[in-house]
Structure 1
């Protein structure tokens, strides 16, 4: 199986390189072909632990956890303003302790997948249509990942429909968004309190509508949610869906550029409430507890979660940028898709290496504080488990994480990264930690 995956990967690389060599670099080209391969390896220190549970981070030194993703990004122009994008992907490996034990999970390239062997899947397959607005100007969009070379109307409505990651469209940030080149930690490269709808590998089906103007944008979407918590199959039922709204505004402050984004979402699913989960512990209702852990289908609707988020990026100089994210959800119903965080706030900086004559290198440092709601705390204190955290008991404290990385561009196609994370109160537990996490990353892209 491994040899077959390697062969497929090499074939994808070969085809992509050939296509790029033969494809003319002009706006008339109908195809877009790009490729990425990312490998991350991590280890953590042993740490103080008064007890451990099903979803605890191992308190002893684990074997190195390694993850792999490799993706082919194909795009094809169709009629005027339309293109189709198709991304086959190979992913494998796992995170430390199978990506459990820390709410701000440690490796953004891994999800809650027990299967370590590489698997082939279709990550994205969607249609995008641009509709120019009256009186618009046009700007040239160069060929890029999931972007065919084209003239884009600066004032437009854009509709995207099919299979994609909802995070492709929302909560973007120039300094902290991509775990393949930037920060590793889930709650630093994303709003951890947004239980964004996705299957186990991070993708969903639906439609996104965007109104885009030169200095602002509005987005609205409706997409599918998982049938079971942290599940690979999605729910197709009128009672289960998720809507997200975002307002984006670009601005200039003292000749530097910035962007602010405000996001709001509502999600309806089969998720039970934490109050029901606590009753299930007291009554010995194993079925409902299995539903919360993602082991059974509830077959009962009524779960709902409301969330808001704030995302700011601010250029300080040509080489230094600052970012802030904060997020909140009501914390009444259990986590269904992303990670077990009910409120979060992070702050970080990104610095290009121009001062030390490495202009393509980037140094980043950030900190995040994560927390959970009262009902969520009571559930974990009583011995409950979600699909990310649960130590069998809880002495509650805010989960605090500091991450720093250095990403070095070694040639036109390859980047190497060294990463360090410090985690205090992993999974909100004062009785465990702190823990030191060390990582390296190799990234190929063209």
Structure 2
């Protein structure tokens, strides 16, 4: 971790001379109406982010502990990520982006024991040593028509300029599915909003990714003034929570489709997104693992029944709505079939969440923000039976199971500590029935997050 801090400090110092904190900030889908043809198309940009999250949980009671359980003793854990964002406009409608990234540290108990894990920056990589890797490397070609324009702000993986409200774009390379899909105005980014895994995205969306959260594939988007349609065809890994890509694209692939509708109510912005997905690969089914264990007199192990031709499909809906310019609410609901093993994200087959965020304008801290959210996560019957019989997934498994939905509440306060470039966020999470087990917990999680972005 000391080596990682030194590396990121050197990177920060080098970048500070080439990029300053931006006053005109935005995010990928926050576009303002503007028909000013004098706005210049930005040719290049560079940005940087660094996020450190430190968490602790006091000791808690449990009737038993398995190989994938959250440890009952008091724990403390930290994670750190640092990302350089580089973008270039190549020719008409073409943009290229490159994001090297450093990450290190781990979550509690090696990031095990809670399906809705409390640290969205923690990865299941098997080692806490700092690693440098390519997070994103992709090319986007955009085709536009119509006279209505949006002004696009200079931001992470986004070049400033004018963009038509009617367009079709295609992207190819390495990227994060959450860059494009399952967005939410108030609950999507663990670096600046809620930290829990099941609040970053729809919890039951087993979104395609390697162990670091990125994927290789193609992405297409059709954008219109009030709606957007998205589709992605991406690779999958050869193993659950794996890092090696499966070259048998005809048998191992993922498909994701999303429709987004934007609207206003009483002058306040709102959005609804409907998501569907289908993952294919050499996966195991929980019932097959249980049947094999019964026939051989062994403990059920999902890896003993892997086969191509298995699928994992599901859907989700996400909505966000401003009620005033400073106060907004959101809700999400998702499910997957629950018959095939979790492959990339986390072991949630059903999820419902809702919450709200409030800007600090009322107490003269307009750039501060607080948020409160609640989550309920559940399992399918086959998944439930597999864990109860002593089976293990790659995130949870207590050796047995007294099933009950996993319930989580989270509260954070984001303090703008320095010129919209440095934020500090204390955070509290309360987890009931961790890993769906009434015989363990509850767990109190206390966190502090430091985030730099320019």
Assess same fold via TM > 0.5.
Answer: yes
Question: Which residue of structure 2 aligns with residue 316 of structure 1?
Answer: 323
Query: How many residues are treated as equivalent by the alignment?
Result: 437
SS at 2:84 equivalent: strand
Which has the larger displacement, 318-327 or 8-17? 8-17
Give the 3 Å change call, closer, same or farther, for CA 72–291 of structure 1 in structure 2. same
Tell whether the 8 Å contact from 1:281 to 1:382 is kept in structure 2 after alignment. Answer: no
Which residue does 2:223 correspond to in 1?
A: 212
Alignment counterpart, residue 281 of structure 1, candidates 293, 314, 318:
293
Partner of residue 137 from structure 1, selected from 142, 148, 172: 148
Q: CA deviation at 1:20?
A: 2.1
**Alignment deviations for residues 299-329 of structure 1 (CA, whole Å, 9 cap, x no partner):** 7312201110000001011110001011010
Report what 1:253 is aligned to.
265
The answer on whether the counterparts of 1:274 and 1:376 sit within 8 Å (CA) in structure 2 is yes
Structure 1 segments, 4+ long, off by >3 Å, are: 5-8, 283-288
Q: Note the C-alpha offset of 1:151.
A: 1.7
- Counterpart position of 1:89: 101
Distance 2:94 2:298 in 1: 50
Deviation at 1:288, TM superposition (A): 7.9
Give the distance between the partners of 1:153 and 1:291, measured in 2 at CA: 49
Structure 1 partner of 2:167:
156
Q: Which residue of 2 aligns with 1:436?
A: 444
Residue of structure 1 aligned with 2:47, choices 24, 28, 34: 34
Query: What is the correspondence of 1:254-273 to structure 2 with a 5 Å cutoff?
Result: 254-273=266-285
SS at match of 1:137: strand
Tell me the residue number matched to 2:424.
416
Distance, in Å, in 1 between the alignment partners of 2:139 and 2:299 is 40
Mapped partners of 2:142, 2:201: distance in 1: 27
Q: Distance in 2 between matches of 1:262 and 1:362?
A: 27
Distance apart, 1:15 and its partner CA: 3.3
TM-score (norm 1): 0.94
Q: Could you tell me whether the CA contact under 8 Å between 1:381 and 1:395 is conserved in 2?
A: yes
1:326 aligns with 2:339: no
Cα distance in structure 2, aligned partners of 1:109 and 1:22: 23
Instruction: Tell me the equivalent position of 1:79.
Output: 91
Alpha-carbon offset, residue 7 of structure 1 = 4.8
**Which ranges of structure 2 fall in alignment gaps of 5 or more residues?**
25-38
Pairwise CA RMSD: 1.9
Alpha-carbon distance in 1 for matches of 2:301, 2:414:
42
The match for 1:295 is none
Equivalent of residue 348 in structure 1, options 344, 355, 372 = 355
Report the Cα distance in structure 1 between the residues aligned to 2:70 and 2:330, rounded to whole angstroms: 29
Whole-Å Cα distance in 2 between the matches of residues 176 and 432 of structure 1? 27
Cα offset, 1:45, TM superposition: 1.9
The aligned counterpart of 1:58 is 71
Q: Is the 8 A contact 1:103 1:388 kept in 2?
A: yes
In the alignment, which residue of structure 2 is the partner of 1:388? Answer: 395
Q: Distance in 2 between matches of 1:255 and 1:112?
A: 43
Q: Distance in 2 between matches of 1:347 and 1:37?
A: 28
Q: Secondary structure at the match of 2:143?
A: strand
| Structure 2 match to 1:358 | 365
Distance in 2 (CA, whole Å) between partners of 1:352 and 1:244 is 33
Offset of residue 93 of structure 1: 0.1
State the distance in 2 between where 1:2 and 1:44 align.
23
Q: 1:2, 1:118 within 8 Å by CA — same for their partners in 2?
A: no
CA distance in 1, matches of 2:11, 2:359: 31
